[in-house]
């Protein structure tokens, strides 16, 4: 089979599985597998060898079963980076880019030496992006999952940030130097236990530890706030991602943990998504 024939067959299989944009996903999976540009694919008329064909349809089969496209190809675009991901980390979402935008908008001089901590670093998407944009910043990422830290380490290495970062295996901000950081970011698990059962099939492939926020989705935020406050200097800036319909409760928790709310940022869907607060 040549590439065009494989694209057509893969498109049919993905369409039958009710995958959105089946032809596009077929093209993307084939392009990534063969390491060729999408624009060059129509001109490829030669037949593929059996190994290439087997690899392609193995990935198509994974997608048909519901595995997220990002896990299949091993990366996900985020802000201006292309983040390495696997099943041990949450796939970076466009909504989380609001943390980056809000943090950068509230830094007076991007050339300043800023100490950053990303609590629950996961893939390292937030930490790597901020360090990439802030050339003199130093950052620490914490995570309770050693497997997640391995992925974050790969992304730090990929973007040559080793000299300006460190990763620590700990729960939230525990065991971290007190009052050292100027800026804190956190995208905690915030899906309620009830909502977990209704998630899309693709999301159920992602690690539960990165999704499950307890009964109302706020358990993780409540647990991390004391150590988060200890990490920050007085007037240090904190940026927390929250879920749908959690804004009022989340603000109350944050305010009661020695923070002053500065702003709430909505995502493109109009949902309150990021709370910006300062340490008091």
pLDDT tens across 142-158, in order?
A: 999 999 999 999 999 99
Q: Which domains does the chain have, with CATH numbers?
A: 3-65 (1.10.8), 87-279 (3.40.50.150)
Rg (alpha carbons) of the chain, rounded to whole number: 21
Confidence band, pLDDT 50/70/90 cuts, at residue 47: confident
pLDDT at 64: 95
Close Cβ partners of 65 (under 8 Å, ≥ 6 residues apart): none
pLDDT, tens only, 205-258: 999 999 999 999 999 999 999 999 999 999 999 999 999 999 999 999 999 999
Q: Torsion angle of alpha carbons 105, 130, 141, 265, nearest 10°? A: 30
Is residue 62 very low, low, confident or very high in pLDDT (cuts 50, 70, 90)? Answer: very high
Summary mean pLDDT of the chain: 95
58: pLDDT strictly greater than 90: yes
What's the pLDDT at 43? Answer: 78
Q: How confident is the model at residue 40 (pLDDT cuts 50, 70, 90)?
A: confident
- What is the pLDDT, as a whole number, of residue 116? 98
pLDDT of the residue at 103: 98
Distance CA 93, CA 77 (A): 9
Structure tokens at 137: 């910043």
Binning pLDDT at 50, 70 and 90, where does residue 42 land?
A: confident
Mean pLDDT of 174-194: 94
Q: What share of the chain has pLDDT > 70, as a percent?
A: 100
Candidate ranges 31-45, 117-131, 193-207; pick with highest mean pLDDT? 117-131
**Strands 259-266 vs 272-279: parallel, antiparallel or unpaired:** antiparallel
Q: Output the pLDDT for position 197.
A: 86
pLDDT exceeds cutoff 90 at 46: no
Q: What is the DSSP letter of 86?
A: -
Q: What is the mean pLDDT of residues 37-43?
A: 82
Using an 8 Å Cβ cutoff, are 139 and 127 in contact? yes
Quick check: 139 and 168 in contact, CB under 8 A?
A: no
List strands edge to edge, sheet with 272-279. Answer: 165-169, 138-143, 115-119, 181-186, 232-241, 272-279, 259-266
pLDDT of residue 39: 85
Q: pTM, whole model, 2 decimals?
A: 0.93
Measure the CA–CA gap between 52 and 136, rounded to whole angstroms: 44
**pLDDT of amino acid 110:** 94
User: If pLDDT is split at 50, 70 and 90, which confidence band does 177 have?
Assistant: confident
Q: CA 89 to CA 163: how far, in whole Å? A: 23
């Amino acid at each position: 089979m040549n590439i065009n024939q494989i694209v057509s067959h893969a498109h049919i299989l993905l369409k039958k599985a009710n995958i959105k944009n089946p032809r596009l996903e077929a093209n993307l999976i084939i392009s990534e597998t063969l390491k060729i540009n999408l624009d060059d694919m129509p001109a490829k008329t030669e037949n593929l060898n059996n190994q290439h064909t087997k690899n392609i349809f193995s990935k198509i089969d994974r997608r048909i079963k519901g595995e997220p496209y990002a896990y299949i190809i091993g990366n996900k675009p985020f802000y201006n980076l292309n983040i390495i991901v696997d099943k041990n980390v949450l796939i970076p979402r466009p909504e989380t880019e609001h943390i980056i935008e809000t943090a950068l908008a509230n830094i007076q001089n991007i050339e300043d030496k800023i100490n950053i901590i990303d609590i629950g670093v996961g893939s390292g998407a937030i930490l790597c992006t901020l360090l990439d944009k802030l050339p003199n910043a130093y950052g620490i990422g914490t995570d309770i999952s050693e497997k997640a830290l391995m992925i974050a380490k790969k992304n730090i290495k990929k973007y040559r940030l080793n000299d300006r970062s460190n990763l620590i295996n700990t729960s939230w901000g525990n065991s971290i130097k007190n009052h050292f950081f100027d800026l804190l970011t956190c995208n905690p698990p915030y899906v309620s236990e009830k909502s977990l059962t209704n998630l899309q099939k693709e999301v159920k492939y992602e690690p539960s530890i990165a999704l499950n926020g307890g009964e109302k989705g706020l358990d993780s935020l409540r647990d991390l706030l004391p150590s988060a406050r200890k990490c920050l200097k007085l007037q240090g800036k904190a940026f927390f991602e929250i879920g749908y319909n959690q804004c009022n409760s989340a603000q109350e928790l944050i305010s009661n943990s020695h923070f002053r709310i500065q702003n709430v940022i909505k995502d493109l869907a109009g949902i309150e998504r990021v709370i910006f607060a300062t340490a008091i």
